[in-house]
Amino acid sequence: MKGFGRYVIFLGSLFVRRESFKTYYNLTLEECIQIGLKSVLLFMLVSTFMGAVTTIQTAANLVSPFVPRFVIAQVVREMTVLELAPTIMAVIFAGKVGSSMAGGLGTMRITEQIDALEVMGINASSYLVLPKIIAALLMYPLLVIVSGVCAILGGYIVGSLTGALTPTEYIYGIRYTFNPYFITFALTKSFTFAFLISSISSFKGYFTNGGALEVGIASTNAVTTSIIAVLLSDYFLAYLLL
Amino acid sequence: MIKIKNISKTFGDKTVLSGISGEFEKGKTNLIIGSSGTGKSVLLKCIVGLFQPDTGSVFFDLRNFTEADKEMKSEIRREIGMLFQGGALFDSKNVEENVMFPLDILTRMNPEEKIERVNFCLKRVGLEGVNKKKPSEISGGMKKRVGIARAIVNNPNYLFCDEPNSGLDPQTSILIDELIMEITHEFDITTVVVTHDMNSVLGIGEKIMFLYKGSKLWEGSNNDLTHSGVKELDDFVFTNKVMRSLKGS
Ligand SMILES: Nc1ncnc2c1ncn2[C@@H]1O[C@H](COP(=O)(O)OP(=O)(O)O)[C@@H](O)[C@H]1O
Ligand SMILES: [Mg+2]
């Protein structure tokens, strides 16, 4: 509870005494490259496989002759949009981006780089963390969209290769009774998760004290805490918005 | 000149500094000495405003820094340069960008002026041709030099150094100490150096404040160091064999 209070104060501190807009713009751009470009391949790889696996497993389960095969594609679509792309990818995002945010900030803390910024009169939390959060908010939804597309493509390829369903059936299934609200829901989830992961990880890293060992611990804590936060908020968002 | 009055600081229920007052003179290397864990770094951080002291005030040439408003604070901050224990260079920036950073943040110089000033400072600390190297690619002594260059790049009136020669070999330590002293005299800066290294104390200690368990026990010049009559200071000074033999003679 005390930790939560400090987290809220930390979030508040991000918005006081800011540098020039141009400084933030440049920093955010750098972070976008760090976060976006460096994770996109991993995201594409994981989601393509997830789409493929979902297709095969759904096909294996739907053996009833009364269920048309395009339903497989429909299931893949719903799974991808609602859960696989935004939530499972959030776990990967926490592992890749969250841990490196916490590790980077923790290292800056213990090597006094944060103090060096503060001595120059810079609000270090805002200077270092705000760009990371904004970049995560910009990049994570994009990564989720890319993942969604890759997962559906993965399903398409595997479905055609294994003969589980024909490309025509697959495309028909993907488009069948599509509810666009689910996309809005997925994007809402993406923004929420991006914020939670980037802010929690930054918080854990920023308040590291000690040495290299503590940086490692902060990094691990960042990942576990963000994942728990993501899963909890996933539940509440589903409860509130669906 | 920097004046501190009655500085106290506690963390939780642990009193780290109790009622420290004193003065650091302009154009001199003022030392804060004492064994590890006595609160030297905490005192330095209270002075530069990284910690808010529980009681007391810090005056930079009669300007009360502790109670200053935002504008006055940033005006004083502009005049402060600080060298941290490990150099505290920004990992993601190269040497040149590190030294230029305070100019980017604190001044409106144009790029040519900045680069000229950066090269002047790098040359002053004896580093040339490493502008594009990353901190991870240079030695500990070079990092300290870059740290000094970054600390003096914006023409500070006050220079703070926390253990400038920790982690360096004795020869490099002396060079760094001398560099700090030369710069202090050359630019007439009020320099405050935290150290527990007796070589530095004897070499560059023009004015010395001795801390013991969070209190100031003695103040004076290095000429008077060996006959202070303060037991704790004697224990600190004469742990070293060479020093002990000096005392005997
Ligand atoms: N941020 C902090 N929180 C709690 N205790 C601290 C903090 N910084 C320093 N201390 C404590 O203050 C004491 C003095 O530390 P320090 O000033 O670093 O000693 P030194 O004289 O070696 O520089 C130490 O016991 C340390 O544990
Ligand atoms: Mg110290």
Let me know whether B162 and B231 are in one domain.
yes
What's the confidence (pLDDT) of residue B246? Answer: 67
One-letter amino acid identity for B127?
A: L
Contact A119 B106 (CB under 8 A): no
Let me know whether B222 and B207 are in one domain.
yes
Chain A residue closest to B154 (CA)? A120
Let me know whether B73 and B166 are in one domain.
yes
Q: Residues of A with CB below 8 A from B106's CB?
A: 120-121
Residue pLDDT, tens place only, A109-130 = 999 999 999 999 899 999 999 9
Q: Looking at ligand 1, which residue's alpha carbon is closest to its atom 26?
A: B37
What's the confidence (pLDDT) of residue A3? Answer: 87
Give me the residue label for tokens 């970049």.
A135
Chain A residue closest to B75 (CA)? A121
CA distance A79 to A56: 13
Chain B residue closest to A30 (CA)? B92
Asked whether residue B110 is assigned to any structural domain, the reply reads yes
Q: With beta carbons less than 8 A apart as the criterion, state whether B204 and B192 touch.
A: no
Q: Please indicate if any CB of chain B lies within 8 Å of the CB of A122.
A: yes
Helix axes A124-162, A70-79, angle to 10 degrees: 170
Q: With beta carbons less than 8 A apart as the criterion, state whether B138 and B87 touch.
A: no
What's the confidence (pLDDT) of residue A121? Answer: 87
What's the confidence (pLDDT) of residue A112? Answer: 94
Collapsed DSSP state (helix, strand, coil) of residue B219: strand
Q: Looking at ligand 1, which residue's alpha carbon is closest to its atom 25?
A: B37
Let me know whether B7 and B62 are in one domain.
yes
Q: Looking at ligand 1, which residue's alpha carbon is closest to its atom 6?
A: B11
Chain B residue closest to A118 (CA)? B50
Residue pLDDT, tens place only, A6-17 = 999 999 999 886
Share above pLDDT 70 across residues of chain A, in percent, rounded to a whole number: 100
Asked whether residue B84 is assigned to any structural domain, the reply reads no
Question: Residue B220 pairs with which residues in a beta bridge?
Answer: B208
Q: How far is B72 from chain A (nearest CA, A)?
A: 11
Can you read off the two tokens belonging to residue A181?
């609200």
The CATH number that applies at residue B238 is 3.40.50.300
Share above pLDDT 90 across residues of chain A, in percent, rounded to a whole number: 81
Q: Which residue among B74, B84, B106 sits closest to A115, beta carbon to beta carbon?
A: B84
Residue pLDDT, tens place only, A148-193 = 999 999 999 999 999 888 999 999 999 998 888 999 999 999 999 9
What's the confidence (pLDDT) of residue B249? Answer: 56
How does residue A1 score in pLDDT terms, banded at 50, 70 and 90? confident
Q: Please state the atom number of ligand 1 nearest to the C-alpha of residue B38.
A: 21
Q: Which residue among B48, B85, B91 sits closest to A119, beta carbon to beta carbon?
A: B48
What's the confidence (pLDDT) of residue A164? Answer: 84
Q: Please state the atom number of ligand 1 nearest to the C-alpha of residue B194.
A: 23
CA distance B192 to B29: 6
Determine how many CB atoms are found less than 10 A away from the CB of residue A27: 18
Q: Please indicate if any CB of chain B lies within 8 Å of the CB of A111.
A: yes
Q: Could you report the predicted ipTM of this complex, rounded to two decimals?
A: 0.90
CA distances from B175 to B11, B181, B199, B231 (A): 36, 10, 12, 31
Boundary residue ending a domain (B155, B181, B197)? B155
Asked whether residue B85 is assigned to any structural domain, the reply reads no
CA distance B205 to B193: 9
Residue pLDDT, tens place only, B77-116 = 999 999 998 899 999 999 999 999 999 988 899 999 999 9
Q: Residues of A with CB below 8 A from B73's CB?
A: 121
Q: Please indicate if any CB of chain B lies within 8 Å of the CB of A161.
A: no
Q: How many domains is chain B built from?
A: 2
B163-166 long-range contacts, Cβ below 8 Å, gap at least 24?
Answer: B163/B41, B163/B85, B163/B194, B163/B195, B163/B196, B163/B197, B164/B83, B164/B193, B164/B195, B164/B200, B165/B195, B165/B197, B165/B200, B166/B85, B166/B197
CA distance B66 to A36: 43
Boundary residue ending a domain (B120, B155, B190)? B155
Across A44-48, A83-87, B57-61, least confident range: A83-87
Let me know whether B39 and B130 are in one domain.
no
Let me know whether B52 and B175 are in one domain.
yes
- Best residue for ligand 1 mutational test, from B13, B20, B38, B42 (most atoms within 8 Å of Cβ): B42
Let me know whether B109 and B139 are in one domain.
yes
What's the confidence (pLDDT) of residue B248? Answer: 60
Collapsed DSSP state (helix, strand, coil) of residue A42: helix
Asked whether residue B222 is assigned to any structural domain, the reply reads yes
Let me know whether B148 and B34 are in one domain.
no
Collapsed DSSP state (helix, strand, coil) of residue B240: coil
Q: Residues of B with CB below 8 A from A120's CB?
A: 77, 101-102, 105-106
Can you read off the two tokens belonging to residue B21?
């007052």
Q: Which residues contact B165 (CB under 8 A, 6 or more apart)?
A: B144, B172, B173, B174, B176, B177, B195, B197, B200
Asked whether residue B87 is assigned to any structural domain, the reply reads no
How does residue A51 score in pLDDT terms, banded at 50, 70 and 90? very high
Contact B88 A121 (CB under 8 A): no
User: For chain A, which residues make up each domain, given as ranges?
Assistant: 20-241
Higher pLDDT, A106 or B243: A106
Boundary residue ending a domain (B111, B139, B155)? B155
Asked whether residue B225 is assigned to any structural domain, the reply reads yes
Q: Which pTM does this prediction carry?
A: 0.90
Q: Which domain holds residue B111?
A: 92-155
CA distance A113 to B87: 9
DSSP state at residue B134: -
* Ligand 1 site residues, Cβ closer than 6 angstroms: B 11, 16, 34, 36-42
Let me know whether B216 and B180 are in one domain.
yes
Contact A121 B106 (CB under 8 A): yes
Where chain B has pLDDT below 50, the residues are: none
What's the confidence (pLDDT) of residue A62? Answer: 82
